[in-house]
C-alpha cells in the first residue's frame, strides 16, 4: 500500500491515478471507461516529437544544409519504407543511421571495407561491394535487419539505429534526431511523425507537452546546477522542469514533492514513458520526503539537474534503488 496525502492507494499491475482538484481516483485499465481509453491513447513515441511543439526549428536548420544528393537519399529511404508498409519511425531510424554513417551519401570508401549509405561491410555478410554501394539494396537491407530487432518500435530511434549498425560510438545517432523527424514530416508529408495524434482527447496533452519539454531539457545539457536555480543558465532539479513544461503550456508546481503530489496523473514508475516525471525520496512511503525529480527519457535513461558541483545531464536509472518512488507523474493530465 502507498499513502498519498490522506489517500491510500493499492498499486496493482496496471493503474493510472488521476488527480483532479486534490482528489485522487484510480482507473484500472481493465475498466472500459472513456477516461481510461483516453489515457491509453496518450501513449506515443514522445522522444521523437511531435516536432511542431519543440524540435522543428533545430530540425529545419539541419535539413536546410543538406545537398541534393543527400535529399535524394532521404527520398529513397522514405519511398522504399512506404513501399514496404513501414511506419515513419522506421524511416526516421534509417535517416539517422545514414546521416551518421555517411552523411546520407553512397560512399565508395570507409573504415576497413565499409561502403555505401550505411557503411555496410561485405566481410560481415552485408552483401557484395557492388550491392552495398547500391542505394536501393542498402536501404532494403537496412530495413531487413531493423525489422528483426525485437524492440525497435519501443525505443528511441537512435538506439535502434545503433542496434542495426553496432557502432563503437552508440550515442552519436541521436545527433540527427530532430532533423530526421523534420524530414519525414516535410519530405514524407507526415504531420505527426511521433504518432501522438492531434485533438484526439484531452489526455493527449501530456504526450504533446512531452515533446516540447524534452527538447527544452536537452537544450540545457551541460548547464550547472544551482540550488533554487530557475535559469536561464543555472538550474535545480525542479526549477528546470517548471520551465520545460511551461514551454509546452503546462503549469506544474515549483517544488519537487509538490510536483509529485499535484503535478499530474500517476502511473507505475516501471510504465513511465518519455516525458514522465520520476522521483526519489528518503522514505518512498511518504511523498513529503521527495528530494529529487527528473524527466524520464525511455531506455532506462533520465535527464536531470543532479546536485551542487554537477551539470544537467542524462543518467541511467537504477530501478532497484530503495529511494525511487513507486509512481511516476505525467504532467498536463
Secondary structure (DSSP) of 47-109: GG--GGGTTHHHHHHHHTT--HHHHHHHHHHHHHHHHTT--HHHHHHHHHHHHHHHSSS--S-
Contact, 117 vs 102, CB < 8 A?
A: yes
Least confident of 31-35, 77-81, 180-184, 304-308: 31-35
Rounded Cα gap, residues 207 and 36, in angstroms: 15
Beta bridge partners of 293: 279
Contact, 11 vs 268, CB < 8 A?
A: yes
Please choose, from the candidates 182, 192, 214, 210, the residue with its C-alpha nearest in 3D space to the C-alpha of residue 92: 182
Task: Give the pLDDT score at 328.
Answer: 92
Rounded Cα gap, residues 314 and 255, in angstroms: 21
Task: Give the pLDDT score at 195.
Answer: 52
Rounded Cα gap, residues 185 and 66, in angstroms: 16
Rounded Cα gap, residues 108 and 117, in angstroms: 9
Number of helices (H), then strands (E), belonging to the chain: the values are: 11, 10
Taking the whole predicted model, whether its pTM rises above 0.85 is answered as: no
Task: Give the pLDDT score at 57.
Answer: 73
- 309's CB contacts (< 8 A; 6+ apart) are 225
Please choose, from the candidates 270, 196, 205, the residue with its C-alpha nearest in 3D space to the C-alpha of residue 14: 270
Q: For residue range 150-184, what is the model confidence (pLDDT) as tens digits? A: 988 878 888 899 999 999 888 889 888 888 988 98
Average pLDDT, the chain: 79
The mean pLDDT value for 278-298 works out to: 94
Q: What is the DSSP letter of 252?
A: -
Amino acid at each position: 500500500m502507498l499513502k498519498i496525502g490522506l489517500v491510500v492507494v493499492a498499486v496493482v499491475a496496471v493503474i493510472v491515478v488521476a488527480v483532479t482538484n486534490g482528489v485522487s481516483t484510480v482507473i484500472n485499465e481493465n475498466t472500459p471507461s472513456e477516461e481510461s481509453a483516453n489515457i491509453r491513447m496518450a501513449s506515443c513515441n514522445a522522444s521523437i516529437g511531435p516536432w511542431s511543439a519543440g524540435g522543428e526549428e533545430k530540425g529545419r536548420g539541419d535539413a536546410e544544409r543538406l545537398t541534393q544528393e543527400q535529399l535524394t537519399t532521404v527520398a529513397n529511404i522514405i519511398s522504399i519504407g512506404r513501399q514496404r508498409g513501414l511506419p515513419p519511425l522506421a524511416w526516421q531510424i534509417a535517416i539517422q543511421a545514414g546521416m551518421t554513417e555517411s552523411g546520407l551519401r553512397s560512399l565508395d570508401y570507409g573504415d576497413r571495407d565499409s561502403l555505401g549509405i550505411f557503411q555496410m561491410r561485405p566481410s560481415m555478410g552485408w552483401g557484395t561491394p557492388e550491392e552495398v554501394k547500391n542505394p536501393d539494396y542498402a536501404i532494403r537491407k537496412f530495413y531487413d535487419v531493423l525489422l528483426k530487432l525485437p524492440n525497435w518500435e519501443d525505443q528511441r530511434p537512435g538506439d535502434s539505429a545503433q542496434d542495426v549498425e553496432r557502432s563503437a560510438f552508440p550515442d552519436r545517432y541521436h545527433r540527427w534526431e530532430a532533423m530526421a523527424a523534420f524530414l519525414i514530416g516535410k519530405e514524407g508529408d507526415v504531420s505527426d511523425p511521433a504518432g501522438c495524434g492531434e485533438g484526439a482527447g484531452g489526455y493527449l496533452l501530456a504526450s504533446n507537452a512531452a515533446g516540447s519539454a524534452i527538447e527544452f531539457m536537452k537544450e540545457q545539457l551541460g548547464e550547472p546546477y544551482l540550488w533554487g536555480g530557475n535559469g536561464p543558465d543555472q538550474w535545480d532539479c525542479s526549477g528546470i522542469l517548471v520551465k520545460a513544461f511551461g514551454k509546452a503550456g503546462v503549469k506544474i508546481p515549483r517544488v519537487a514533492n509538490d510536483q509529485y503530489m499535484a503535478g499530474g496523473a500517476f502511473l507505475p514508475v516501471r510504465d513511465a514513458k518519455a516525458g514522465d516525471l520520476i522521483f526519489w525520496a528518503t522514505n518512498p512511503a511518504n511523498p513529503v520526503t521527495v528530494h529529487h525529480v527528473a524527466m524520464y527519457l525511455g531506455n532506462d535513461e533520465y535527464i536531470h539537474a543532479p546536485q551542487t558541483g554537477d551539470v544537467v545531464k542524462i543518467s541511467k536509472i537504477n530501478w532497484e534503488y530503495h529511494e525511487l518512488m513507486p509512481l511516476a507523474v505525467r504532467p498536463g493530465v
